[in-house]
């Protein structure tokens, strides 16, 4: 049976994705995601722990390509979507199954036959574990699920989210439009709103029709746009999207905004958001042949009012959902001013000259200046790193050159060979190398070194096995003498070390170590 279920689910998934539907958290996309998760669960029963559906798309394309040609044309695209979904779900499954096993074990101990709403919510909220999967797993073990309790927990979370989002108001399709206080802010929001429409269209022209809106936020200072896509945009794709939007801005195209019957709007090619409820009459915002969407929001009169568009970040929001943040109009120089301030702060830390910000310069020129500034930072850091390595090497060579001199300071205390010496300027690596060399010279004995590294005191003790006892060893020595340099430390019986803020305490610390020998 598992093989037949997997085959049926693979066909459904592949044909739907090839037809433009993507796994999502709502609507038909959620149905698709549930089907994939069910297939993945059956795969687990067959011992398949790695993504496997994506590897079978090629066979399906060869078998069913004559009946459904789209699957042949889009086999790589379908395989990538399935792979991304399977990888994400496998991680979710592994994390959630551990907690689910703990919950069911506790239920068995207490003879409880129901998984509480709070436990279901924890699986969902913390581990991304689907509620329907929890219910299915519970049923397999003869347990029920408190769905009403889960709904209560969800309502609590939504209430918190509403409280956190106080001061914002909702719009169509998960769109958030923040309140604007004055005319300048309202105009800035209008620029960002129209730029969002241009961005949506540019993404579809660059990535494909599947790159549909999954949420958005419009504010005076920036816009945020969430969309369906299965992987990060390449640098070339980001450049193309940005160029397409700016090309439409430069054309200074007048927006055409009309109210019309919904069927007429759909026939005109206007994009509507899946799952959104519309009335009999809708408002359509058209920007030439470039963009046409259902929208009730406030816009600029023509694209030239946007002035300029800059994509500032692109990241993953969740599996199959990407997020873009961008700025437009007067928000662009504000964004660059902030970026140059960050850059110059880093340059100042390294003693490098600042990079000049020119508000009149075009974004490509400003991007190049920022890139050059950060390249200068990386070069300076590499230079400092190499200088530090050279300094450490010199310290090591200086310290090792005096090993013979330190060896001549060997004492016999109660028939135990002891070398206790301050080696001066040396870091931990150099002190450890000197200690190793002195242990080799002694063969058996005790070595205690003091050093100063960047103004801080350093102590290192080594005791060979012959002279180690529970009461006397390297760790015991360090614990005893570390307070004399206002420090602390520890280690193993054969080797221990400490650091402290009081270099002037080194002579007393070394003397205290010597006095411990043979006690």
Tokens of 255: 């927006």
Residues 6+ apart with CB under 8 A from 175: 215, 216, 217, 218, 297
Q: 54 with 80: CB under 8 angstroms? A: yes
Strand partners, 343: none
**φ, ψ (nearest 5 deg) of residue 89:** -70, -35
Helix/strand/coil for 4:
helix
Neighbours of 253 (CB within 10 A): 18
Which residues in the chain show pLDDT less than 70? 1, 25-26, 127-128, 158, 160-182, 274-276, 518-519
Q: CA distances (Å), 294 to each of 164, 173, 269, 285, 287, in order?
A: 29, 10, 10, 6, 12
> 494: closest CA among 455, 460, 462?
462
Q: 457 with 487: CB under 8 angstroms? A: yes
Tokens of 37: 């998760």
Tokens 């060399």 label which residue?
Answer: 437
CATH of 170-329, one of 3.40.50.1110, 3.40.50.970, 3.30.980.10, 3.90.1170.40: 3.30.980.10
Domain-wise residue ranges, the chain: 2-163, 170-329, 332-394, 402-516
- Strand 321-328 with 309-318, pairing: antiparallel
Q: 165 with 137: CB under 8 angstroms? A: no
Residues 6+ apart with CB under 8 A from 282: 259, 260, 261, 262, 265, 270, 272, 294
**Per CATH, is 402-516 categorized as 3.10.310.40?**
yes
Positive or negative CA dihedral for 198, 199, 201, 206? Answer: positive
Whole-prediction pTM: 0.62
Tally the C-alpha atoms within 13 A of residue 397's C-alpha that lie toward its C-beta: 6
Q: 328 with 305: CB under 8 angstroms? A: no
For the chain, how long is the longest CA-to-CA vector? 104
Q: Exposed, middle or buried, 370 (CB in 10 Å: 0-12/13-18/19+)?
A: middle
Q: CA distances (Å), 142 to each of 114, 164, 269, 432, in order?
A: 9, 39, 51, 62
Q: Exposed, middle or buried, 217 (CB in 10 Å: 0-12/13-18/19+)?
A: buried
Q: CA distances (Å), 152 to each of 120, 129, 161, in order?
A: 11, 17, 14
């Amino acid at each position: 049976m598992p093989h037949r279920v997997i085959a049926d689910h693979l066909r459904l998934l592949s044909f739907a994705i090839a037809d433009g539907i993507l796994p999502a958290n709502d609507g038909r996309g959620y149905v698709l995601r549930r089907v994939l998760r069910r297939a993945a669960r059956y795969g687990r029963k067959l011992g398949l722990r790695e993504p496997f559906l994506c590897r079978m798309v090629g066979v399906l394309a060869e078998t069913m390509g004559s009946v459904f040609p789209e699957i042949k044309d889009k086999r790589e695209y379908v395989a990538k979507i399935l792979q991304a979904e399977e990888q994400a779900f496998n991680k979710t499954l592994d994390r959630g199954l551990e907690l689910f096993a703990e919950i069911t074990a506790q239920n068995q101990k207490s003879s409880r036959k129901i998984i509480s709403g709070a436990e279901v919510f924890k699986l969902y909220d913390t581990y991304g574990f689907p509620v329907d999967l929890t219910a299915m797993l519970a049923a397999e073990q003869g347990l029920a699920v408190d769905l009403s309790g889960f709904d209560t927990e969800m309502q609590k979370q939504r209430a918190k989210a509403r409280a956190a989002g106080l001061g914002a108001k909702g719009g169509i399709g998960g769109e958030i439009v923040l309140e604007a206080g004055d005319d300048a802010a309202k105009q800035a929001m209008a620029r960002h709103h129209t730029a969002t429409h241009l961005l949506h269209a540019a993404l579809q022209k660059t990535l494909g029709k599947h790159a549909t809106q999954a949420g958005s936020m419009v504010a005076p200072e920036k816009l945020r746009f969430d969309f369906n896509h299965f992987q990060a945009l390449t640098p070339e794709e980001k450049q193309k999207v940005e160029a397409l939007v700016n090309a439409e801005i430069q054309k200074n195209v007048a927006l055409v905004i009309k109210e019309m019957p919904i069927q007429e709007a759909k026939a005109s090619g206007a994009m509507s958001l899946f799952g959104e409820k519309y009335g009999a009459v809708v408002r359509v915002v058209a920007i030439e042949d470039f963009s046409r969407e259902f929208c009730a929001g406030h816009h600029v009169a023509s694209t030239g009012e946007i002035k300029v568009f800059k994509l500032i970040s692109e990241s993953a929001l969740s599996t199959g959902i990407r997020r873009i943040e961008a700025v437009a109009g007067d928000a662009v120089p504000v964004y660059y001013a902030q970026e140059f301030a960050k850059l110059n702060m880093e340059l100042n830390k390294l003693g490098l000259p600042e990079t000049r910000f020119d508000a009149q310069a075009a974004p490509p020129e400003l991007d190049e200046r920022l890139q050059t500034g950060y390249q200068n930072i990386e070069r300076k850091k590499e230079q400092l790193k190499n200088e530090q390595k050279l300094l450490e090497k010199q310290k090591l060579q200086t310290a090792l050159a005096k090993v013979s001199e330190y060896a001549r300071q060997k004492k016999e205390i109660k028939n135990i060979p002891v070398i206790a010496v301050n080696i001066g300027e040396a870091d931990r690596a150099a002190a450890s190398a000197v200690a190793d060399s002195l242990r080799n010279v002694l063969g058996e004995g005790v070595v205690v070194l003091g050093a100063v590294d960047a103004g801080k005191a350093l102590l290192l003790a080594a005791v060979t096995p012959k002279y180690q006892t529970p009461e006397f060893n390297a760790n015991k020595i360090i614990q005893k003498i570390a307070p004399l340099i206002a420090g602390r430390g520890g280690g193993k019986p054969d080797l221990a070390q400490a650091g402290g803020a009081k270099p002037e305490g080194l002579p007393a610390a070394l003397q205290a170590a010597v006095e411990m020998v043979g006690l």
